[in-house]
Amino acid sequence: MRKPDPLSTEHLDDLEAGIGVLMVVWGRSAERIKPKVSPSQLRALVVVDRHGSINLMSLADELGSIPSVTSRVCDRLQAAGLLDRVAGSDDRREVMLRLSRDGRRLLRQFQRERQADLKQVLDAMPPRSRTALLTGLNAFHAAATDLDLPDEELA
């Protein structure tokens, strides 16, 4: 097996600059969704959506938060009509969190906005560069997966 070429500091600086711009483009879409939600609320909605339903402790674990803080985030999301709390099907004492219809609508809107922003930048790139970027990102994702890095952190 061939050893990968070492990365220079300049390459890493370029990578960080590109990722910084990507994060700005990514974040702009969150600013346009209605109702306004904080980044931590948006992350919570994304995690709940990915699971379909999840209990508070599991959500707190995935968010890297403590249950009391996660509970307050969920209180705000429920008050905004974006999250529902329901009794668990196996244990009626367990409270499960699910997206409401408005919560699903908000996440669909977020995805549309985010994809429109990404498409605008990708369309402005030369086709060859765009293909190289997408090929590189696929390889990056595969390498991160091989290293067992979590890929569920982003909103």
- 78-125 pLDDT, tens digit per residue, is 999 999 998 767 766 778 999 999 999 999 999 999 999 999 999 999
Q: Please check whether residue 107 is in contact with residue 34, taking contact to mean a CB–CB distance below 8 angstroms.
A: no
Residue 19 has pLDDT above 50, yes or no: yes
Tokens encoding 151: 């890929």
Quick one: average pLDDT of 29-39?
87
pLDDT value, residue 75:
96
- Rounded to two decimals, what is the model's pTM? 0.77
Residue 150, preceding peptide bond in cis (omega within 30° of 0): no
| d(C-alpha 110, C-alpha 29), whole Å | 6
